[in-house]
Amino acid sequence: ALTTVVASGSVHGNPVTILKRNELSIEEKLHQAMETGGFSLNYQPVINVTDNSIEACEALMRCRIGDEMLPPDRFIPVAEKTGLIIELGDWTLLTAAHMAEQLLANGHPTKVAVNVSRAQLTAPKFQQTLQALLTISPLPPSLLELELTESLFMDTSIAVRRNLDAAVEAGLSLAIDDFGTGYSCLAYLKDIPANKLKLDRTFVKNLPEDKKSLAIVRAITRLAQDLGMTVVAEGVETPEQLDTLLGTGVNALQGYLFTRPLPEQQLESWLTDFKG
Ligand code: C2E
Ligand code: CA
Ligand code: CA
Ligand code: CA
């Protein structure tokens, strides 16, 4: 049944999106969640190990339908295929910016990072969304960060270029997400407006035993820092991984060892305790 292919209706200019049957039921659920306020954001702090400050808090989308939680790895791809990610992405940007505003007002001037999909960046309206957001929000744009996968930085389409330029011009910072998973060449690194590189969890997972992962982490960290970028390691789960990573020169760490992504209401008290 999983391979049954059907054509779904058109959303946001995707005339015929081909969805598998199980994806169709997810699309159904996404609509349901939109109608019932089932979307929320959790925030995962990233710790800067050079001064023990909070480097950023990453906003991660959650989707609830009744008692069921849909994992992002299942619903994000469907939201991308159907174009729903554009509306969801606008909501995420607004909500995350609002969170950053609130944190700032309560004594936590921390960046909030938002994941942005290709479909959002190929939509010309992304610029306007951003501008509208920065007009209505008193938030300093430097407290908003966009996380994009490598391929988006190599994208030569005019819409993507313009949207990225507009974000940088507006004062937002850009991070390369999931670095090292995209089989890309390194040449593009010297020409892109990102000031942060997030090393994918695959390089952290098998530390400290895997010496090859360690060599890669060291080399990439050195390279990125020489290019003026900050390096974050994702998916830190154990004290041994922490110890090993501290010896590589990475600037910041993110992972369950510090905290799982937190619901909005728990983030502030976590940040306050961490400062304590
Ligand atoms: P990502 O951007 O790479 O986000 C990091 C993922 O790693 C999150 O999964 C986070 O919960 C998880 N994680 C953090 N620390 C650890 C750890 O120590 N161990 C392990 N095993 N995992 C850890 P999550 O929240 O399930 O999100 C999965 C992916 O869904 C994200 O990967 C991102 O690509 C996408 N996503 C989530 N929220 C959004 C969103 O608002 N917009 C877009 N476009 N994509 C999103
Ligand atoms: Ca991310
Ligand atoms: Ca990532
Ligand atoms: Ca990812």
pLDDT of residue 1: 31
CA distance readout (Å), 272 to 15, 107, 108, 140 = 48, 9, 8, 21
Query: Which one of 115, 258, 267 would you pick to mutate in the ligand 1 pocket, going by the greatest count of ligand atoms within 8 A of its CB?
Result: 115
Count, residues in the chain: 276
Per-residue model confidence (pLDDT) at position 17? 67
Task: Please report the pLDDT score of residue 24 as a whole number.
Answer: 77
Question: How many C-beta atoms surround the C-beta of residue 108 within 10 A?
Answer: 17
pLDDT on residue 16: 56
pLDDT for 187: 84
Tens digit of pLDDT at every position of the chain (276 positions): 333 333 344 444 444 567 777 887 999 999 999 999 999 999 999 999 999 999 999 999 999 999 999 999 999 999 999 999 999 999 999 999 999 999 999 999 999 999 999 999 999 899 999 999 999 999 999 999 999 999 999 888 999 999 999 999 999 999 999 999 887 778 889 889 999 999 999 999 999 999 999 999 999 999 999 999 999 999 999 999 999 999 999 999 999 999 999 999 999 999 999 987
Give the pLDDT of residue 11.
Answer: 46
Atom number, ligand 1, closest to the C-alpha of residue 236: 18
Q: Is 110 in the pocket of ligand 1 (CB under 6 A)?
A: no
How far is Cα 182 from Cα 198, in angstroms, rounded to an integer?
Answer: 13
Q: Would you call 52 exposed, middle or buried from its count of C-beta atoms within 10 A (0-12, 13-18, 19+)?
A: exposed
The residues that bridge with 45 in the sheet, in sequence order, are 57
Q: Is 90 in the pocket of ligand 1 (CB under 6 A)?
A: no
Cα–Cα distance for residue pair 32/66, rounded to 1 Å: 10
- For ligand 1, atom 10: residue with the closest CA: 261
CA distance 166 to 103: 25
Amino acid 4: pLDDT? 32
Can you tell me the distance from the alpha carbon of 120 to that of 71, in angstroms, rounded to the nearest whole number? 20
Three-state secondary structure call for residue 140: coil
Is the CB of residue 167 less than 8 Å from the CB of residue 133? no
Per-residue model confidence (pLDDT) at position 268: 97
User: Mind giving me the DSSP string for 230-265?
Assistant: EEEE----SHHHHHHHHTTT-SEE-STTT---EEHH
Rounded CA gap, 130 and 115, in Å?
14
Q: How far apart are CA 234 and CA 8, in angstroms?
A: 36
188 close to 153: Cβ distance less than 8 angstroms: yes
- Is 120 a pocket residue for ligand 1 (Cβ < 6 Å)? no
Q: Write b or e for each residue in 173-195: b if 16 or more Cβ atoms lie within 10 A of its Cβ, otherwise e.
A: bbbbbbbbebebeeeebeebebb
**72 ligand 1 Cβ < 6 A:** yes
Contacts of 77 (CB under 8 A, 6+ apart): 23
Query: Could you list which residues have their CB under 5 Å from ion ligand 2?
Result: 115, 147, 177
Q: Using a CB cutoff of 5 Å, list residues around ligand 3, an ion.
A: 177-178
Q: Which two tokens stand for residue 161?
A: 């270029």
